[in-house]
Each structure stands twice: as structure tokens, then as C-alpha cells.
Copies of this chain bind each other. A is one copy, B any other.
Amino acid sequence: MKGEWVAIDWGTSNFRAWLLAGNAVLDKRSASCGLLHIEPGQFDATLKTLLGEWVADSSPMIVMAGMVGSQQGWYEVDYCPLPAGADSLLEQRKKFITSWGSEAWIVPGLCKSPSGDLPDVMRGEEIQLLGLSLLEGIDNFQAILPGTHSKHVRMQQKQIVDFSTYMTGELFHVLITHSLLGRALPDAAVDDNAFLRGVEISRRNAALSQLLFSARTLRLSGEISAESVGDYLSGLLIGSEFTTGNTGPVWLVGSAVLTRRYQLAANAFGIQTCCIDGDCCFIAGMQFLQQRLTEKQNGQC
């Protein structure tokens, strides 16, 4: 159908796509079909299968973000250096045509390469930040995007000027799945008290590698039940994101389940927060970029 287009967030582990008309969501789908599951040379065929009837009789424009633009992705798209806003993303975009005739775009990620300091990278979150800025009409803010690799970001005058990555989600996963801390745990129960106790312990002036062991010893001593070890560990890891950070108000961008946890932790540190759905931000950011790409195509800018 004329005017339809597809927005895709294609990461390392997951694939998510929305069929849109303008900014109206007509349909969406997701699959555990991230980069790690795709053989080299199979991106085009995989995407065609994943999109199914969306591309059966038409060739909608496709705009993609995330690790699909990395070295291990479909086409490598160079990172934009900081500071970066919508214009930087548009300038470094990659365009190609799929086997079924769709015009496809991959948006670049961002890198921070301060001389002599630690570099950092993101792919995909920059779209959500752009969307947040547009949806809320704000140009200067701080945000946290929780996830496998949680991002702390500062935007000034519509430009992302700084960010840092915390391996919170991945640490939680490997510790619960593969370390002594997760051994022989029953199904987890939601336990905000255990979570907040973990947050409180994270504030101590001690190495995280030391504090983590308390998830074992508090279980051994019966102070935390086996069902609550996960929430305690989550509190420790999320809390430690706030121990050296800023204290100003912060946007929490993501799913309700995750942003709620971060909000609990931020409250314990006396940090003001606002939560916003990550998918809404992603779609808003993509829609802005898609509109600008269409205008450029039509020679309007």
C-alpha cells in the first residue's frame, strides 16, 4: 500500500519490526532472530521470510537500526562520532536495494572516542533518544536506557554529547545462569524488598566483586530466600549504576518492567525520574528519519 514503510530494530539477539503508515502502527512482529542466529550472506533471505506478507506484493521502504549495521551485521555502517544528532545519523546512512526491490536504509550508531580516555559505542539507542527528544519536545536532558548493556546518555541542544555503557543486564544473566550465585535457584518471586536491599548494599564503598558475594552469603544465612536472590542481585547491579553518576533528573527509556526497577533504585538515591516506553521512542525516532529520507529522495532538501 502506498505510504507504508517498515521500521526495524535488529540487534544481536532479537529482531523487531513495525509496519507503519506515516507514524501509525499497522502491524508488528518480533523474532529471536538476532545477528548471532544468521549465517553470513543470509540477511536478505532471512528478512524476506521475517517480513512475510508485508513484502509479498509490495516493496515498502525499510529503515533499520541496531547491530545490523555493525561489522557482524548486514552492511557495516561507520559509527558517528559525538556530538551527534539527527543530521549526523542521516549523513552517514547506508542505502541499498533488497532482492525484492525495497529501498533499504541502515542508520549508523554512535561512538565516543575521547583521546586517552575509554571509548564507547551504541547502536540502536540513538534512535530512541531522538524519539524521546521529539515526543517530549526537549533538547537538553539525561536518560538511562536499561537493557543488556544499559546506556547513560546526556543530550544537549538536540545533540548526544556523552554516554556510557554499563553491562548490567548481561552481568545479571551470566551470574544467574553460570555462577555459584544462581546455582539451584527455584523460580524467582518478585521481591521489591530484596531488590531495595541490593540497591542499599550497592552504595557501600566496596568493590562490586566483593558485594556480589553477599548474594551467596545472605542466602546461606537465611536472610534472603532462594526465590529472592535474583531480585537482590538485580538491585545490587542496577544500584551500582547510580553510585558514581549524576544526581539530576533522568528519563528512563524502555519497557515498563525494566524502567520500574530503575525508578525504584533511582528513588533510593533521591534521583527524580520520568519513564517512557522505549518502543514509542524508537518509532518516533525512525518516523522522523524516514520522513527526512523521503524528502531527500524527492529533492526537497
A positions within 8 Å CB-CB of B:
12, 113, 118-121, 149, 164-168, 170-171, 174-175, 177-180, 201, 205-214, 217-218, 220-221, 223, 237, 240-241, 243-244
> Contact: A209 with B119, CB < 8 Å?
no
Q: Give the copy number.
A: 2
Chain B residues whose CB sits within 8 angstroms of the CB of A174 once the complex forms: 174-175, 178-179
Q: How far is the CA of A223 from the CA of B115 in the complex (A)?
A: 12
The answer to whether B120 touches A217, judged by C-beta atoms less than 8 angstroms apart, is yes
State whether A207 and B240 are in contact (beta carbons under 8 Å apart), knowing that A118-B201, A177-B178, A217-B120 are contacts in the complex. Answer: yes
A207 touches B244 (CB 8 A): yes
Check B118 against A207 for contact (C-beta < 8 Å): no
Which among A113, A206, A207, A218 has the highest number of chain B CB atoms within 10 Å? A207
A240 to B210, CA, bound (A): 9
**Shortest distance from the beta carbon of A153 to any chain B beta carbon, whole Å:** 13
A206 to B118, CA, bound (A): 12
When distances are taken between beta carbons in the complex, the residues of chain B under 8 Å from A209 are 166-168, 171, 208, 237, 240-241
Check A210–B171 contact: CB distance below 8 A: no
Residues of B within 8 A of A149 (CB): 213
How far, in whole Å, are A113 and B175 apart by their CA atoms in the complex? 24
Query: A207 to B215, alpha carbons, bound, how many Å?
Result: 18
6 A-B pairs whose Cβ atoms sit less than 8 Å apart in the complex: A118-B214, A120-B213, A166-B210, A207-B243, A207-B244, A208-B208
